[in-house]
Each structure stands twice: as C-alpha cells, then as structure tokens.
Amino acid sequence: MAATSSPHGRTSIQAAFIAALGAGLAVRVALLVGVALHQSYLTDVSYYDAQAVRYLLSGVDPYGAAYSVPASLATPGAADVFAYLPGVFSFIVPAGALGPSALGMVAADLVVALSLWRLGPRGALPSLAYFLFPPVVLFSTYFVNDSLPAIAFVAVAIMAQSRGRSKAGALLWGLAFGTSVEAWFVFPFYAAYSLRRGRAVPLALSILTAAAVVLPFFAWGPSAFLKDTVMFQFQRSSLPLFYPGPFGLNLNPSLQGVLASVGLSAPLAVRAVLALAVLALLLWRYDGSLRGLALGAASFAAASLFLVPGVSFWSYFELPLMLLAAWYALRPADVKAGAPPPILKEPR
C-alpha cells in the first residue's frame, strides 16, 4: 500500500497506463491503416463512404445519389442509402481526397484517445479500457464505424466543458449533433446541463451549429436526406437476433431482434414510449453535473439503441461505452491519498 500511494508509485502506474494506451492505440491505428491501404472495401460502410466522397467532390448530392455495394457485403435493408449525417464528411472528405476515406477514422480514433486521457487525473485507465475493449477494436478498428467522428466531437466537447469553455463546447456539441443521429441521444442531458446552469446561449449556439451542418444538405434534397439518415432505420424489416452475414452470423442486439427470433414484434410507438420512459427517469435522477451528463447520456443511448431500432449493431454501443469512460475519467482524484487535484472548472 505504501509503495502505490507514494509519488514514485503513482508515477510508475501512470507511466505504465500511458505506455499501454500508446501501444493499444498504435495497434488500432496500424490495423486500420493496413486495412484501408490494402483492403479498402472490407464492408459496405467503406463502399458508401468512398462513393459519398466522390459524389460530394463532384458536386452531386450524396443523399440523392445511387450507391452500389456487392451483395455479399450489403447489410440487409440498408441498400442504396448513405445513413450518416453530413458532419461525418469533416473526417472522410479530407482523407478521401488524399487516399482511402477510412483513414479519416484514424484521426477520429486519435481525437477520442487524447480527449479521454486528458479529461482528468483518472483519464488514463478509462482511455486504455475503451481502446482495448474487444468490440471496439473489432468494429471501429477493423470494420470501420462511421459514428467515430461524432464520438470524437462528443469527447472533445466534454473535455472543453470540463475546462469551463462553454462556447467552444457548444460548437463541438453542435458538430456532434450534425454528425450522427446517435449523438441526439446525448442532447437531452446536454440541454438539461446547460439550462440548470443558466447557459441558454451556448445551448442555442450548439443547435445553430448543428443546423448549419445539416440544413444545406437537407435543402439540397429533403426527401432523399430524410430517407437516408432517419426513415430507413424504421422502414427496414426487423432481423432476428442472429442472422447470416458476410463473415458468418451477425448479431442484432435489439428488442426487435429478440422478439423477431420468436416470431413477435413490438410497434414503433410502444418502443418509443419505453425509450421516453427511460429518458424521464434518467432526467429525474440527473444531478446537473458534467459527470452526471456522461452517465445519463450513456444510459439513455444504450437503452434507446436497444429499444428503438429494428436492426441494431454492436458498433452502435460504442458511443455509450465512450461516455461511460468519460464518466469514470471525470471522477475527482482522491486528494487525501495525495493524488493531483481535479481539473474540473465547472460551477458547483
């Protein structure tokens, strides 16, 4: 006990965490770069990203364009759609203009790693755990997860808020909301966090930022935009809990997946009411802190991603996992044990 509570012991442990984090991140980056350079089209997501970048750089509406994906890689019920909000282009267009668009996810990976690590005195452990968690390694590093840009924006937004930079945080929250529908599950808690501190201006700024990202593409082709980004998720047929895929059995971790496996189904209205009930309970229990925001948003996102979609994927749950890592990283250090003081500057 004495050795681990001494400054030397704490420094050694911190150095070990940092070394392990660096090694884990290096493995992830190396895998993703290797896949992107040598097998650019491992999944349908890679095809959609590459084609969307080409359309956008050619002046064609990526949400109204036609997509082609090999039948062996196509996700059932998701053919010929670009299902990601336009903020994702902030990462994949620069990468796609220079090489494989999947390289943009390398940058997102690095942003999340740095943000979690810098959140507080306890940031190294959750950052390491997040990046070495097997589903994260599999789905984000190897199969490419287009939610990563939104996860990166949320991670940096939380870091900005932890340092009292509410306006910078508002811009980053807005970018996240304009990058992935999944990020919308965080919005109720960000709104509650802002309003309970009398910060209506940053909240409005985040909404305006999201609108600035989304509305140009919405105006370009409203029906195509809504079909690709929102409606297809509720119009596609539900799949059973296990179904065949290009790499064997795929898993549909959703309520509809469980019910479809036994020949049942729950109407969307019922699933939405269940999600809203979870939201009401979590908001009622919310303590108004930034740490509570991370925990409440993680819980609501995980519950909603299980309850609402007809087809869900393990990669959907990477956002709740990152939020849980942020929740742990925001925990103040034990000052009595001689650890560094917390860096949070938010009002108490």
Q: Could you give the CA distance from residue 152 to residue 176 in angstroms, rounded to a whole number?
A: 8
Domain that holds residue 197: 2-337
* Residue-level pLDDT at 10: 61
Is there a domain that residue 344 lies in?
no
> Over the range 32-50, which residues count as b (16 or more CB within 10 Å of their CB) and which as e?
bbebbeeebbbbbbbbbbb
Rounded CA separation 204/270 (Å): 31
Residues 104, 106, 110, CA angle at the centre, nearest 5°? 120
Q: Is residue 211 part of a domain?
A: yes
Is residue 346 a part of any domain in this protein?
no
3-class DSSP assignment, residue 118 = coil
Q: What is the pLDDT of residue 346?
A: 52
- pTM (2 decimals)? 0.86
Q: Is residue 348 part of a domain?
A: no
Domain assignment of residue 116, yes or no: yes
Q: How far apart are CA 251 and CA 312, in angstroms?
A: 8
Residues 112/25, Cβ–Cβ less than 8 Å: no
Distance of CA 2 to the CA centre of its chain: 40
What's the total number of domains in the chain?
Answer: 1
Q: How far apart are CA 253 and CA 316, in angstroms?
A: 10
Cα radius of gyration rounded to whole Å, the chain: 20
- The 3-state DSSP composition of the chain as helix, strand, coil percent (nearest 5) reads 65, 0, 30
CA distance to 81, 222, 256, 303, per residue, from 231 (Å): 11, 12, 17, 20
Residue 343 lies in a domain: no
Q: Does residue 315 form part of some domain?
A: yes
Q: What integer pLDDT is reported at residue 221 of this predicted model?
A: 94
Rounded Cα gap, residues 64 and 292, in angstroms: 40
- pLDDT for 68 equals 86
In the prediction, which pLDDT does 41 show? 60
Query: Quick one: DSSP state of residue 110?
Result: H
pLDDT at 333: 58
One digit per residue, the tens of pLDDT, for the chain of length 348 reads 444 445 555 667 667 767 776 776 677 677 767 766 665 566 788 888 889 999 999 999 999 999 888 877 777 667 788 999 999 999 989 988 877 777 787 788 888 888 888 887 777 777 777 776 656 666 665 566 888 899 999 999 999 999 999 999 999 999 999 999 999 999 999 999 999 998 899 999 999 999 999 999 999 999 999 999 988 877 777 778 877 765 567 778 899 888 988 888 899 999 999 999 999 999 999 999 999 999 999 999 999 999 998 888 878 888 999 999 999 999 875 544 344 444 445 543
Residue 225 is assigned to a structural domain of this protein: yes
